[in-house]
Structure 1
């Protein structure tokens, strides 16, 4: 990873990432990883997450909790955030969030050095989540949810990571694809600016539900 990686304050930090098919947890003592697990799940995040946290040293207790806010599965994002909020309330812990695509870009920089990186992940309704990052790890293209053909046209970086990286590079006819999933054990690779104090879901696309034409969203007087 280029630049300065995240440095945790002294004590324990719990990381939770279940916004995608990859469900992972990690526990850090100061800046050292002392426990972690990643499972590839199609379904069942809600059933798997709490036992995974409970299997960590001291059942995952930490002064700080960092959680993926998405984008990814609507269910996975909500499960991870609900668990993080409940534990933060019970333990009196500090709570912050981060983007799963930013984490994958940081992981790619650790693997490939200071080079621009594009991220391509499965979205909803046949679309892909894409985002671009420069050689320093800063956003160069904003998060977008696009049909595959539009995602291919928008992604210009040679290195593309994510579960749709191979498909994107094949369709484009050039570049290097790296199949990659977000892993809570890698959150130390995030730049400090990646942590978000406002822990709202990053769904990456508008909700599917729409109000009927002519219907107001305002409550009745």
Structure 2
């Protein structure tokens, strides 16, 4: 058996896992479940060849859902400890950009816009090679519209943002772990730490 890599993605309403051996995809699962990642993730991994056991684990660190990001990272770290596997992370928006570029006949710059809750977007621009053109931002629709630097918008908020600014093309898409190989190697070496993108809805109570 060659070197195996397990990819875990629970940062959005989608829950996906994928197992690779020597770079080749040998098993995957993808479902848009909304909620319930904690209940669905481990059974999905267990259905992969060899119950998903791998030498290396990659996990989506966000930005995305608070709960989803925490579940994915916690599972990756727990499995990494149990298997003695190396655990690293990747960015949600980078994977969405890579998937969008893969769908284009001729790659072009793309702006990724993901729903962030409370009417806001996670937004980041990428070049035609998938390189980020700056850091991501969490923005309301009006300022987000002014930050779009491409004719193509991709992501879960792509359609509504494209309609708002009259973009020529949009690609409605969610991250899928089965496509992690599309992301450049240097962008898959992040520490496995959460990138939430905004403050939590619930704040600790202040003690007088």
TM-score normalised over the length of structure 2: 0.93
Q: Which residue of 2 aligns with 1:62?
A: 54
Q: Residue 193 in 1 paired to residue 190 in 2?
A: no
- Number of equivalences: 204
5+ residue gaps, structure 1, are: 1-9, 216-221
- SS at the partner of 2:43? helix
Q: Residue 147 in 1 paired to residue 140 in 2?
A: yes
- Alpha-carbon distance between aligned partners in 2 of 1:169 and 1:29, rounded to the nearest angstrom: 38
- Alpha-carbon distance between aligned partners in 2 of 1:183 and 1:63, rounded to the nearest angstrom: 20
5+ residue gaps, structure 2, are: none
Query: Would you identify which runs of 4 or more consecutive aligned residues in structure 1 move more than 6 Å?
Result: none
- Alpha-carbon distance between aligned partners in 1 of 2:23 and 2:95, rounded to the nearest angstrom: 17
Q: Which residue of 2 aligns with 1:6?
A: none
Provide Cα deviations, 1:39-77, integer angstroms capped at 9, x if missing partner.
Answer: 101110000000000000010000000000011100000
Cα deviation for residue 135 of structure 1 reads 1.5
- SS at the partner of 2:75? helix
Cα deviation for residue 206 of structure 1 reads 3.4
Residues 79-90 of structure 1 correspond to what in structure 2 (within 5 A)? Answer: 79-90=71-82
- Alpha-carbon distance between aligned partners in 1 of 2:190 and 2:154, rounded to the nearest angstrom: 26
Larger CA Rg, structure 1 vs 2:
1
- Alpha-carbon distance between aligned partners in 2 of 1:17 and 1:147, rounded to the nearest angstrom: 25
- Alpha-carbon distance between aligned partners in 2 of 1:82 and 1:210, rounded to the nearest angstrom: 22
